[in-house]
Structures are given as structure tokens and as C-alpha cells.
Amino acid sequence: MLISKDVLIILLFSLSFSILISSLLTPLLIRFGYKYNCLDYPSDRKIHKKEVVNIGGVNFIFGIIAIYISIYFLAKLDIISTFDLNINLFPFLILINLIIFFTGLFDDKYSLPPFIRLIIQFACSSLIWNSGLKIGTFDITFLFPNSQIIYFPDWLSLIITMVWISGIINAINWLDGMDGLAAGVSLFLSLGILILSLQIQNYFALIIAVSIVGLTFGFLLYNSKPAKIIMGDSGSNLLGLNLALSSIILLKDDLRVGILPISFLIFLVPIMDMIKVIFIRIKNGKSPFYPDKNHLHHQLQNFGFTDKKVILIIYNLVIFNLSIVFIILNLSYGIPLLISSLIFFIFTLKFES
């Protein structure tokens, strides 16, 4: 896998710039949050024992917009090549990010009804679909070479795209129940997408993935237990949106990998956690959005695992799923990653650091 000079510039610039923004901006947000009462207070459903700043999403929106604008102007000025980048979509994607961010920020402050949040997410997803970023095929030829690729009619493609984007937004949001959990899972998911985007030379997906890697890495310096700041709905919704976008952009062409089976496996941990919780809530006669303690991290805590072990176990599950994806796609590092994840899992269960 050879990386050209311009690709390396984009990769290193986006990574270093996003880490720098996150590392420098987060401490300022912590001071701002305490000064202006942008705080999340303890409750029965929350693990923190005292108030904590909840505007970490500001860090993500600043970083994402800054990287989009920087790449846009670098390309316009012919400083870097655009490759397959549709840079004319960048202003539109910035607008969508702003809508999702402010919806989450308003929800953090005033608690929006779940139905309203879902309507806004569906509306943004439909606009994304209309821009050409859509799920249009179902492909299992990587498992069955003689099978046919299924092409969805527009109405079905729209529904699937809306459900996918809104689903990933909420799946990441619902993971945000422990210090460092949502940010860490997003970091590993975006690392997986980054590797795949380099492998198949999809540099549009690369920019989004490497930005999430840098922003979450810098944020985890202050979000790991005990967290000095949490991302809030504004942050988790932004991460979910951009992870969903990168998965669609990554597999939207004719590379014969199939958006649904592969992407579903990449996001298996947050998706299955969300599906399980929804099923339990409906079974108990509750709303799918009714808050409870049936998430994976809650159940692992009930088994007696410490918070640190719970975090490491879930991280490892994500890495394990990524290794399976790499093996399915015949990437050489799939099996070593799988073995490493199994060793790390055993180490995590046996030892307490």
C-alpha cells in the first residue's frame, strides 16, 4: 500500500491539526463550563458523583469545521490534489454538522423530546441522501462470489440511509455512559475506517476518519476516568454523524464490498447494544427512548467488573470486530490483529492495572 506525497500531507495535516485543536481547546472549555455553569449534575443514571462540564461537543464541531475549511482552501488553491474529494460538498456537510451539533447542545441544556430529535436526524439524513451520499446496494459477493449485487430503488435507498445515519448517531450517543467509552469506541471505529480508506484509496472517507481519530485522542486526555469534561449529546451526536458519513462515503462506489454487511460488522458493538436495549424496553412496555441501565457497560458492571475493565473489554470487542472485517476483505493484518485482540482480552480479564 503506497501512499503518495499529497495523501501523506492530508493525513498528517488532518491528524496533527485535529489533535492540536482538541488538546488546546478542551482545557479552555473546562474553565468556560465551570464559569458559566455548563455542567451535568449527578443523578441515579449517571456515574459521576459531582458536576462535570458537558460541552465537549464544542471541541468536535470546531475541529471538524476547521479541517473541512482547511482542506477546502488547500484544494482550491491547488496546494494539494483533490483526488476523489468532492470538495463542493464540504460547505453542505459543515451545515449538516452544525444542525446536529446545535440540536444536541439544545438537548443538553433543555432536554428535547426524543421524537423531535429523531425528526431532525431523519431530515438531515434525507438531505445527505439527496446530496448523493446514500446507501444504494447490498453486496455479499465477498462471501458468495457468484451472488448478485442488489440495487435498491430510490425509495428504499432513502429509508435505509435515514435509518442507518440516525441509528449510528443514537448508537454512539447511547454508548456515552462511562468516562472515555464513547470517545474511545469512536477512536477505534474511525481507526478502522481510516485503514480501510487508505487500503482502497478513498480519501474523502480518510479525511473524516483521521479527523475523528485526532479529535477523540485529544479529548480522551481529559475525558478518561475521572473525566474533567464529557462530550454531551452535542458531541456524541456529532461523532455518530461523522462515523455514519465516513462509512457511506467509504463504500459508496463499485468496489464490490457492500455497504450494509461490512458496515454493520464494523459498527456491530454499538448497533447490537442499541438493538438489545430497544427490544428490552419495548418488551417491558416502555418507549424505545426510555432511559434505563440495560446497556452493555451496565451489564458488565453488574458482573462485577471494574469501570476500567468494562472500558477495556468494550474497546477490545470493537477491535475484534475490525479484525474480522479485515480478514473478510483479505487484508494481511487481519489475523495478527485478531490474535492480538484475543491475547489482550485474556490479559484484561486476568489482571487489574
pTM of the model: 0.93
Model confidence pLDDT, tens digit, residues 300-336: 999 989 999 999 999 999 999 999 999 988 888 899 9
CA distance 288 to 276: 10
CA distance 279 to 147: 32
Over residues 221-233, the mean pLDDT reads 92
Q: What is the pLDDT of residue 258?
A: 42
- Give me the amino acid identity at 59: N
Neighbours of 339 (CB within 10 A): 11
| Domain ranges, ordered by start, for the chain | 5-350
Respond yes or no on whether the N-terminal peptide bond of residue 226 is cis (omega within 30° of 0): yes
Q: Give the three-state DSSP class for 351.
A: coil
Is the confidence at residue 189, as pLDDT, over 80?
yes
State the Cα torsion 300-242-121-220 to the nearest 10°. 40
Neighbours of 297 (CB within 10 A): 21
Is the confidence at residue 89, as pLDDT, over 70?
yes
- Give me the amino acid identity at 284: N
Higher pLDDT, 98 or 254: 98
Neighbours of 116 (CB within 10 A): 12
Cα–Cα distances in Å, from 318 out to 7, 111, 161, 338, 345? Answer: 27, 30, 23, 11, 11
Q: Which residues touch 164 (CB under 8 Å, ≥6 apart)? A: 125, 135, 244, 247, 248, 263
Model confidence pLDDT, tens digit, residues 246-294: 998 887 654 433 456 788 889 999 999 999 999 999 999 998 888 888 8
Q: What is the pLDDT of residue 314?
A: 96
Q: What is the pLDDT of residue 255?
A: 43
3-class secondary structure per residue, 173-214: HHHCCCCCHHHHHHHHHHHHHHHHHHHCCCHHHHHHHHHHHH
